[in-house]
Amino acid sequence: MENQVVSNPKLIEGCKLWDKITTQAMSADRPPWKKRQFPSLKYSRPPDSPAYTDNDYKPLACRIDGNKAEATVGSSPGHAVHISLDKGKVEYHDNDNMVNEVMKNLLEEKARLKCEIHDDGVRCEGLIAENLTELFKVLSIPTSMDIRLRYCIYDKNQLVEFCKSREKALYEEITRKEE
C-alpha cells in the first residue's frame, strides 16, 4: 500500500465536472424535446445537432494518476489534454490552428493560464488547484470545434472571427450553472 499512487481529489472533481458538462452538451438537443437547447448558436452548428458529433463524443475519457490527468477530447489520434498539477502545466494537443487560437484565448481568459500556441497545440503554465474548475470547464469545448467552425465559416458564410466568437458563446452556454 505504501507505493500506491493516490489520485488528487481536485483532479477527480475536475474530471467529474468535465464529464457532466460534456454529457449535458451532447444530449442538449436530443429527445425528449424538453431538454435544454442552445438557440443562440445557430451559426456554430446545424440547429438540430448536439454540441459534438457522435464520433468525437464516444472516445471522451478522463484519467487521473496522482497529480496528473489526461483527457481525450475527440476522435483524432492524439487529440488530448495532459495536465500536470505538480508542475503547473497544461498541454492541449490539436493541429488545427483556428481551434488552437480559440483554446489559447479561453485557457488564458477563463483558467487564468499563460499559454503559447505550438504546431501541435497549446502549452500553458501557471496551473494551480484553484483554477482547476475553470480549466475543466474550458476542456469541455474543443470536442468537435473544428467541425462547428467549418460549418459556421463555409456552410453559413460567416467571418472567421465571428465563428471563433461563437465558440466562446458556446462555452458560456454549456458551462453555465443550471438555475
115 three-state secondary structure: strand
Q: Residue 137: enclosing H or E segment and its boundaries? A: helix 132-138
Say whether pLDDT at 16 is over 70.
yes
118 three-state secondary structure: strand
Banded model confidence at residue 24, pLDDT cuts 50, 70, 90: confident
Reduced 3-state DSSP string for 46-109: CCCCCCCCHHHHCCCEEEEECCEEEEECCCCCCCEEEEECCCCEEEEECCCHHHHHHHHHHHHH
Query: Count of residues for the chain?
Result: 179
Q: Where are the domains of the chain?
A: 9-175
What's the pTM?
A: 0.86
Q: How far apart are the C-alpha atoms of 50 and 108, rounded to whole Å?
A: 26
* pLDDT value of position 35: 41
* Chain position carrying cell 484565448: 105
Say whether pLDDT at 42 is over 80.
no
Q: How far apart are the C-alpha atoms of 161 and 177, rounded to whole Å?
A: 27
Sign of the dihedral defined by the CA atoms of residues 128, 134, 137, 141, in that order: negative
Say whether pLDDT at 63 is over 90.
yes
114 three-state secondary structure: strand
